[in-house]
Every structure is written in structure tokens, then in C-alpha cells.
Amino acid sequence: HIVFTPKYRRKVIYNQYRSSLGEIFHRLCSYKGVEIIEGHLMPDHVHMLVSIPPRISVSSFMGYLKGKSALMMFDKHANLKYKFGNRHFWAEGYYVSTVGLNEATIKKYIQD
């Protein structure tokens, strides 16, 4: 279970940005063989329940996901650079928790 936010926790994940991010996340995860079990894009943060293969560390996957998705968002929506500048779409850091027996609980939490 991972959670991360746009820089300055801006409420920018809506309308066309929301659909673009959904497509981008699915594409990037499929490139790495990561399965998105559940996901929800909130206006000011992202929740994802993912299954990352053991050969990929969580930190390298998060660096890849946040870095590539930011570049792809700025390429697709050039007007974002005026709001964020310097091509930094995501805030530093992220939250991660491993999911064991409570997977159903986490899925329900993300859905709601």
C-alpha cells in the first residue's frame, strides 16, 4: 500500500489530469511487471495497493513511478509547468506499508 502527494499537496488530480495519471500509472506499472490491485486518485493524493515483484525494491519502484509519471504529465500537459516549475510534480517522500492478512481491509479503505 503506497500513498504519495503532489508538490505542496496541491489539489490538481481532477478531470483531464486524473484520467492522464490513471493511464500513466497503468502503463508504467505494466512496463515493470507491477500489478495494481487497487488504486484511487484523490484531488491531493494517490492511494495504490500494488504487488511489486521481489526483484524490484520499493524505493527504486517509487523513484521510477514518481519520476517518470511527472515527466509524462509535463509532456502531456505543458501548462502544469507554470504551476509547479522545474518539472517537480510530486512532493518528496511517500508512505508505504506492507499488506499481509489485512489486504481486504486495505482494499476497502482505498475504495472508500
Strand partners for 51: 35
Average pLDDT, the chain: 88
pLDDT, residue 87, reads: 72
**Which letter does DSSP use for residue 87 in this model?**
T
Domain boundaries, the chain: 2-105
Please check whether the domain covering 2-105 is classified as CATH 3.30.70.1290: yes
The answer to whether the beta carbons of residues 65 and 39 sit under 8 Å apart is no
**Helical ranges in 1-112 per DSSP H:** 15-32, 58-76, 80-84, 103-111
Whether 17 sits among the annotated catalytic residues: the reply is no
30-85 tens-digit pLDDT: 999 999 998 999 999 999 999 999 999 999 999 999 999 999 998 998 887 777 77
Closest CA to 28 of 75, 59, 2, 67: 67
What's the rounded Cα separation, in Å, for the pair 77 and 40? Answer: 21
**Which letter does DSSP use for residue 90 in this model?**
B
pLDDT, residue 77, reads: 86
One of 8, 17, 95, 109 is an active-site residue; which one?
Answer: 109
What's the rounded Cα separation, in Å, for the pair 3 and 82? Answer: 25
Report the predicted TM-score, pTM, of the whole model to 2 decimal places. 0.87
Distance of CA 9 to the CA centre of its chain: 13
The answer to whether the beta carbons of residues 99 and 105 sit under 8 Å apart is no
